[in-house]
Amino acid sequence: AVRDTAEEEQCSVYVVGGFVRDLLLSVPTQDLDFVVEGSGGQFAQALMKRMPNGKLTQHITFGTAQIIFPDGSHLDIASTRWEHYSFPGALPQVEESCLRDDLFRRDFTINSMAICLNTDRFGELVDYYGGKQDLQQGKIRFLHNISFIDDPTRMIRAIRFAERYYFSFAKETLDALYTAIETGVLGKLSVERFSEEMLLILKENNYLAMGQTLVKCGLLNAWFGKELAWNFNLDDAEESVNWSLNIRWLSSVSRMDSAEIESLLERVCLNKSLRDETIHYIHLRESLKESLSLSEMDRLLTKAPKEVVFVLARDESYKHKISECLKAAQRINMSLDGKALIKMGVKQGPEIGKILDRVRMAWLEGKISTTEEEQLMARK
């Protein structure tokens, strides 16, 4: 459809960026970014006629359009463009340009390649800046030396790509990374953009190595303005592949003290679930420091999100307490519930909760072990 639309609209169309990089690396990829030499918006509208399932959204100021399909997948379409940054970390101002300039404004050589989709040049690789060679040699190399100053998120992206593909940095790119950190350019980055990049890191299989590098090169210290006890332990690498984003985040902050985590929350923008779980994590950890009865522990653990319990249960300081309580909770085999109590003649109201609580505690403490004993305990 893209090829036919390109013929119809008489413009050149290319797939660019991450898709080309991953195609050459034979790595599976989903996102498709197209650039059009001409009007991306007009091209997107023409393409829509061939894609009746799609929904078109256009961003006139950025010269971009997106077609979203019912399964959530999408195509991004842009006019070839040049971007100016009015100050470091700002969103770019956009101007139309040729493909060569469009590719030059990008972050790294490995992301600056395009493949033509027009019939007469179908599959032709456009590689002005040595991207293919850098891919073969495993190098992260910027295209111009103010790249990190223009857009400081690229420092985090550079580390993400390096660790994702096991690439190393070209010397001048590494030097520029350190210089950019020293000049404090990160301070110009918004909390939202920084957080977005951090979350992308946490979604990567190899996020632990990425986290370690971010700490080692001083980037996280520069952002937070202090040294925090991040936990990016490579010993967790195998296990962490199956961890959810929330578990990865909670585990990353698990060596910090509560005041540090609270101050960290002021410098990152997290979704509600992640923020709430972090706060729950701090509270539960503080409570577990106290000496608690089995029933108090059970109450806290039952109320806590599973991910919070999971991360605390991996912590040497709380492992034992939690596993004792969870083991005791396995004894609970309650058949009673509110409805059953009402049938037994208990009046609807707070009494029901109290009885259920009492019965649960009796199971937990091993005072009852059968349904008959449970009934007796409820009637007490």
Within 13 Å of residue 371, how many CA atoms lie on the same side as its CB?
4
Q: Is the CB of 153 or the CB of 206 nearer to ligand CTP?
A: 153
Q: Is the CB of 153 or the CB of 173 nearer to ligand CTP?
A: 153
Find, among 188, 191, 186, 206, the residue nearest to 275 by Cα. Answer: 191
Q: Does 151 bind ligand CTP (CB under 6 A)?
A: yes
What's the rounded Cα separation, in Å, for the pair 39 and 47?
Answer: 12
What's the rounded Cα separation, in Å, for the pair 287 and 300?
Answer: 9
From the CB of 78, what's the least distance to ligand CTP, in Å?
A: 9
What is the end-to-end Cα distance of the chain in Å, rounded?
Answer: 74
From the CB of 112, what's the least distance to ligand CTP, in Å?
A: 6
- The residue number with the shortest CB distance to ligand CTP is 18
Q: Is the CB of 82 or the CB of 310 nearer to ligand CTP?
A: 82
Q: Does 31 bind ligand CTP (CB under 6 A)?
A: yes
Q: Is the CB of 186 or the CB of 359 nearer to ligand CTP?
A: 186
Output DSSP code: residue 142: B
- The span of 53-61, 123-131, 153-161, 236-244 binding ligand CTP (CB under 6 A) equals 153-161
- The span of 147-155, 180-188, 302-310, 315-323 binding ligand CTP (CB under 6 A) equals 147-155
DSSP per-residue codes, 283-332: HHHHHHHS---HHHHHHHHHHS-HHHHHHHHTSHHHHHHHHHHHHHHHT-
> What's the token pair of residue 117?
């989709």
User: Cβ contacts of residue 235 below 8 Å, gap of 6+?
Assistant: none
The number of angstroms, rounded, from the C-alpha of 71 to the middle of its chain's C-alpha atoms is 20
Distances (CA, A) of 141 to 130, 155, 168: 10, 11, 9
Q: Is the CB of 23 or the CB of 256 nearer to ligand CTP?
A: 23
Find, among 187, 114, 183, the residue nearest to 146 by Cα. Answer: 183
Contact 160, 146 (CB under 8 A): no
Binders of ligand CTP in range 91-110 (CB under 6 A): 106-107
- Please identify which residue in 33, 277, 298, 307 interacts with ligand CTP, judged by CB under 6 A: 33
- The span of 152-160, 280-288, 340-348, 367-375 binding ligand CTP (CB under 6 A) equals 152-160
Distances (CA, A) of 110 to 74, 130, 271, 320: 22, 8, 31, 48
From the CB of 97, what's the least distance to ligand CTP, in Å?
A: 14
Q: Does 111 bind ligand CTP (CB under 6 A)?
A: yes
From the CB of 275, what's the least distance to ligand CTP, in Å?
A: 24
- Please identify which residue in 153, 206, 231, 246 interacts with ligand CTP, judged by CB under 6 A: 153
Q: Does 127 bind ligand CTP (CB under 6 A)?
A: no
* Interface size with ligand CTP, residues (CB under 6 A): 11
Q: Does 154 bind ligand CTP (CB under 6 A)?
A: yes
Q: Does 79 bind ligand CTP (CB under 6 A)?
A: no
Q: Does 130 bind ligand CTP (CB under 6 A)?
A: no
> What's the token pair of residue 84?
């100016």
What's the rounded Cα separation, in Å, for the pair 254 and 275?
Answer: 14
Contact 177, 148 (CB under 8 A): yes
From the CB of 203, what's the least distance to ligand CTP, in Å?
A: 9
Q: Does 64 bind ligand CTP (CB under 6 A)?
A: no
Write each residue from 200 to 239 as x if it is in contact with ligand CTP (CB under 6 A), else as -, in one continuous string. Answer: ----------------------------------------
3-state SS, residue 281 = helix
Residues that bind ligand CTP (CB under 6 A): 17-18, 31, 33, 106-107, 111, 151, 153-154, 157
